[in-house]
Structure 1
Amino acid sequence: MAKQSKEEKANILTNPEELKKFKQVLATITHYLQIIDDQKEAIKETVEEAAGEYSIDKKLIRKLANTMYKHNYADIQEENNHFELLYESLIGTRVTLSNELDEDSDEEE
């Protein structure tokens, strides 16, 4: 299909029929935007319910769901590895996953 020239394109300002069609297009887009908003709210509610039921941080649930949806686990692993290397190089310390409370409980024994 060839591109229309500027003269051939419908002018919604001067043609009442084209204005009516264009308003319908905008109404359709608005309808889809409302569906998106509704779905986002449903996702938010589902995340909140799961966080309460499974005691998992909402941020982590969202990240897990997004990773599952996008099928980009390998990309995230690579990004995290790159971040760790940069952090350790710049800050000069290795990040450990020890819990300060565990260390305190050892001292009490």
Structure 2
Amino acid sequence: MDWLVNLIAVIVALVSVLAALGHVGYLALLNNAAGKRAGGAPVAQYVKSRWAVAGGTTAASLFAWLLTAGGPTLDVFAIIVAAGSGVVATKALQSTRDRYRTGG
């Protein structure tokens, strides 16, 4: 039974890491595009304000992944931390995408 809890914790942690890194990558792309365009200062300022959220969710999801090396109690804690950071990263990414979505 312990292996099943560990497997679930690892999967949740990996998904959380992917979501957090997706948010970091999207912010990096936005920042790069804003730096190349005239008038991109407001976007660059917004991206600068979002780095803390992206870094925090990435750190939390990596910490949760690290916790999966422990026993079943740490696996449950890892699931909670990873799920929380994954949800926050996903919502932050969606919020940023909605703010700067263009086209139809």
TM, length-normalised to structure 2: 0.38
Of structures 1 and 2, the one scoring higher in RCO (CA 8 A, sep 6+) is 2
Q: Whose radius of gyration is greater, 1 or 2?
A: 1
